[in-house]
Amino acid sequence: MLRPIIGISSVLATLAVVTPAAQANSGKNYVDDARLFQRMVTCGGSATVPDYATKIVARHCRSVKPLAKRFRKGWVRRAMRFLAKKRIANLPPRVVYPFGGGDLVTAMVTYPDATEITTISLENAGDPRRLGMVRGKQLKEALAKFETIARRYVLVHDHKSMNLRKLEKGPIPGQLAFFLFALTVYDYEPVSLRFFKINDDGSLYYYTAADIARLKDSRANKLEKRWINTDYSVAFRNSELEFRNKAGKLVVHRHIAANLHNDHFANSPLLKHLRKKGKVSTMTKAASYLLWSPKFSAIRKYLTRHMAFMVSDSTGVPPRYAWRAGFRMVSYGKFDGVFHPQWNYLNKRLLKIFEKRRTRWLPIRYGYPDINKNRHMWIYYPRKKRRSKTGKR
């Protein structure tokens, strides 16, 4: 179970992060748009579908509802049972998930008692109003595109970058769609949806209706050359989605669109914002082994300095950096080599790591498979400090 760490340091960390209600009281709330979006796209919640879309949405939901149900009763349930036995006590309720585009479900599975989840990726959150601008054939096509990508996500529990790029334009922005799909899988509804930017000092500024009107012609351009530009306003780049979990606690999910390359992340407002959180629970998967690259050393350094615990596939923090930061790694599953030739240069190091560790059973896929479609996972536990002969640590 996740419990806040009691102590002076944790109290200071809590005070450093202003409560969502205090931060967001002047921001425009799109909760009605979010609830309608959830109902029409992910077939969850209780919003009323407009008359013009009832037949189209009904046909769409005949496919999507069973998909969400199967996901919940299959992978989600198995993963929660497995990870419940692996987490340590007294974990920070704040979660940071870099390279986590569109994957709120896995964050909720990995840390079910979290009260704040931050996902970071190159993809923009998206404009929730776009769905209301389409009718007929265009609406059918947009819903069908989401269903196709959702079906693959449920099958492998992971997003391909090419699929996320497909949903950077059009009436159904992919990030927002899959965040609301996560709520549907859990049978939750949004309490609020706001959009924000990060100030230079790392604090958050929530966009008002006037701000959004002023920025309507400023497009959210791509954050990396291989991505694509969106066709909606820069005001909808970062989102804050709030909902209540089964225990009735308010959960805040923030998605931040950012390039985590050193050139963009080191000394950035985003880094300052993350540091304000103090110690955090962390995770990553399917991260293209970027944490192994010197070009992403700043995000790697942030993680090793601030993480209390981590779950990942083999794309997580490399073992030598984790060990230096005071963590031991336990591996699960089997690993025979990376599944994609572009990362073959890492095989020598990865195979050596897995060969040193005994094979432990892993009932779920968590991120990338290996070259033979084997499942694997790493869990980073803080090492116990050794006592000296005098009894001092």
- The domain spans of the chain are 8-261, 279-393
* Torsion on CA atoms 203, 209, 213, 217, rounded to nearest 10: 40
User: Nearest-CA neighbor of 150 among 121, 184, 120?
Assistant: 184
DSSP H stretches of helix in the chain:
8-16, 20-24, 31-37, 54-71, 77-84, 104-110, 136-156, 161-166, 174-186, 209-214, 262-265, 269-275, 297-306, 319-324, 347-355
pLDDT interval class at 1 (50, 70, 90): very low
User: Residue 390: is its pLDDT beyond 80?
Assistant: no
Inter-CA distances, 4 with 208, 265, 276, 365, Å: 32, 28, 16, 29
Percentage of residues in the chain with pLDDT exceeding 70?
88
Q: What global pTM score does this model have?
A: 0.89
Give the Cα separation of 135 and 118 in Å (integer): 33
Q: For residue 135, how many other CB atoms are within 10 A of its CB?
A: 12
**Sign, CA torsion 311/317/322/325:** negative
User: Residue 145: is its pLDDT beyond 80?
Assistant: yes
Angle at 107 between CA 105 and CA 109, to 5 degrees: 70
Q: What is the pLDDT of residues 149-200, one digit of tens each?
A: 888 888 766 655 555 666 677 889 989 999 999 999 999 999 999 999 999 9
pLDDT interval class at 386 (50, 70, 90): low
